[in-house]
Amino acid sequence: MNALQYPEIKPKKKFIKRIYIAVMLWVVGRAIQAAAKVDKEVKEEFAKLKDNFLLKMWIWPNGPSMYVGKTKDGKVKYLGWKDKGYKPTLTMTIKSVEAAMLLFTFQEATAIATTRNRLVVDGDLPDACALVRILNIVEVYLLPKIIAKLAVKRYPKCSQMNPFRKHFGRILIYVRAFTF
């Protein structure tokens, strides 16, 4: 049996899924930037991170990516999807397009994806935990309750996030994410 007789099987490109994931990374990146200006919990989480903090979230091996950074003066910025020579302090790698689809169609929470070995984190553990908390808060703001309950490990009770704060914050985050 000769191994050279059999052609290499290459996976399909999954073009539509990659476009969806790229759009979702853009929306989430812009929403993180907006939430850092609107929500006090997100501000506090980013305040705990080092200056010049840079997150890279991407889909392995050559999928879309997202860069979110914290400047020296403490502002959070969505830096786009292109690698411009950035040196990330925290890299969150989603292992495949299929795993990313589970995350970004909100069928699976970030914590569950990590336990099922679909997400690899390279960086400091406290920074990764802070980013997961930030992502959970942003998902609560962006998504309707029925979908957000699937996307986050614990949906906040009314005592933790009152309805006025949630709905007013949701409006502000949507406006800032899509206009600035």
Q: Mean pLDDT of successive 10-residue segments in the chain (180 residues)? A: 73 86 96 95 94 94 92 93 91 95 90 90 94 92 89 77 85 89
**Non-local CB neighbours of 4 within 8 Å, separated by 6+ positions:** none
Tell me the CATH number at 113: 3.30.1050.10
pLDDT at 155: 84
Q: How much is the pTM?
A: 0.87
Residue 163 forms part of a structural domain: yes
Number of domains in the chain: 1
Structural domain boundaries, residue 150? 14-179
